[in-house]
Structure 1
Amino acid sequence: MIRVGFIVNPYAGLGGSVGLKGTDGCIKEAFARGAVPHAPEKAIRFLSSLSRNDFYFLTAGGEMGEAELTSLGILHECVYRSDLSESDPLLKTSATDTKHACNEMIRQGVHVIVFAGGDGTARDIFSCTRHNIPILGIPAGVKIYSGVFATTPIAAAQILSEWNLTSLGDGEVMDVNEEEYRNGVLDTHLFGFAKVPSSPVHCQSSKQISFGDESHERQEIARFIVEIMRDDTLYLLGAGTTTQAIADMLGISKTLLGIDAIYQKQVVGSDVNEQDILRLLKIYNKVKIIISPIGAQGFILGRGNQQISSTVLSNAGIDSLIVIATDEKMKRTQNLFIDTGDPDLNSKFGETILVVCGYRIGTRVRLNH
């Protein structure tokens, strides 16, 4: 029987939809803004999708894994329980709890650690496992730059179900300085390479940053987008340097790592969160959402732009999405992915999606969900 360490960071991704660009040090603020935890439901989706039953789970108490396993009647043993809630009812777990739980699971001889979280959780897990125990991430965070994550919770279940205990690859463990990130500065750090159950189909690549000059391509894309902008339409401009080129051409300021609302070529909402967007959708009848995929990973939705939630997309309509990317970026990005958190909504996007990659130039790319 395969012994699986199973850890859930119940607060992972909490700051995404409310525009905090991460959750480190901001759990209480995220709750105050109306954030709702999604990591536990993603963990349950993973567990529900396992196609084998020869796993024995070692987990941590409460929503760190025990509650999710219990809800599905899956055989498990709780090997660690946090006492943090005794001092602060709102905060039930911490990074220290993750590390203590992980170390106990390693001591009890697990074959693999599976965790639901983001890059911060991956970093905490890796600080315990190093290159000795393989790890596999269920994507639940705001920013997921590391290469130890499956593309979706269901893909994580497929990887574990197909794993033979011997096939292993290396995945980068990366994290972002969230304070700098909230100020619009992307400051990434490589912490090391973890062992990962090998499956090139279902594991994501780590984010890649281009050091080539793609400015001309971005300007051509921007020229086309500005040309087709209509005065009766609200435009939600996503994060990144390609969308920044559109703002530059319009002569307006742009939140580099956030989402801005543009109407009649003027900013009507800066660094908006999910609730801001939903309020704007009640004011403006027509909307277009312009976003660019993460380099190499290929995620259009579900990584770093959780403000564009399944609720937002259901209200705006999937036809509101305009995907832009330079031809050079697409050469480095083998697959495109959408993970709205709602499998039914994901499937409505179909098997391909149009990507604008130049002035009046588009290419249809295969889409995975």
Structure 2
Amino acid sequence: MENKLKQLLDEALRNFNILVSSINDGTRNVPIPSGFKPVEVTFEEIERAKRIIFDESKSDFKEDMVKHFRQLENLIPFCSSPKAFKTAWDMRTSILSSHDMEIITNEGGQFIPHNTNISNVFNYGQRGNVLGTNRRLVFAIRHSEGHYDDVLDDLGRFTYQPQNDTKIMLRYRLAQHLSKELELPYLLLAVMWFRYSVNEKVNYVFMISPVKVIDFENDLLDLDSSLHAPLTLQLITRAEAKSICNRLLSLNQTDSHVETRYELPRQLAREWAYDKINATEKGRQIKRWAQATGMSCPGIKCKKGPLAKPKILFSELSFKEIAFGHIISQNWAKAYSYLLDKVNHPDNLYLTCRICNSSLGDHFPDDVLRSEIVNNGTIGDWLRQHGIDIRNS
């Protein structure tokens, strides 16, 4: 079985190569603090940029992508909260006092003393981009007070202009393209540094925050006109960054027949949790949608007996005869309490008939039932693919 991540990346790179072919020679006016700087984009520079991205003679793109996310994952524990990062950003200063640091740390900020042995992102006095393994991907962006666009809004969103370099411009568009193709936000670090005397040898401290690439759809419509456009980024929490890393790394496997799902937004998961859909109108919306779309019970108990049929459609059953089953049972979760906050999550729920649901009891689904649940989809799967239709049912 071929590696899932490699499949996705190979397809993404083929599509990106097609998009890059639309880029023409010409002048791009790139914003700088004093206005704009004309940058000549030539065919030769585009080809050099493409070689960095597409040439796998020195390194495999998938392996570079995995290293990128593993290195990010290792630095997540040192990241500050979005609130603290914004507070430090809005101070608009390159020098911090102990009082400033106390305010920031009280909001979830973490300061890292200058130490280039940890990572090359911790170099003060340098603006611009930090490139990752084999210089193929953008690993971090450095922000310093006084940049041409210093606006960080209340939702943690900001734009970051590329350097006057065709290769960096193309890497920005690649980050956006990967976000679209993988259906997973491209992740990197935002870095700020401040002058603060820790001791005689250490006079600078750093703050880092994970950021994700957002609002990229229009840029990908025409790379010729958007080549020099900035990245739109958003500060995210350590938990969200960890989730994105886990989702990417979970694709890097060859031994799983179960497709990796993206995590349901927390609000959506809570809205459609078991206690919100059991014997409620929301639950009836799900049942109506399943009846209207020809879904059937994944169990086998209801298919036995003198009136047995190979498939029991939900449209043949009343609402009272349809139940929400748990893949991991509620009683099992009570016995192992670390599961309690997940047991009623839509990804742990599936639609079944009452006969099959009662027969399962506290047992886990066997191989046959598990395969049928995967084929039919969990409630979480249905929400991902048909959420609007379910709401309208």
**TM-score, normalised relative to structure 1:** 0.34
The structure with the largest alpha-carbon Rg is 2
More strand by share: 1
Structure whose residues are more often helix by fraction: 2
TM-score (norm 2): 0.33
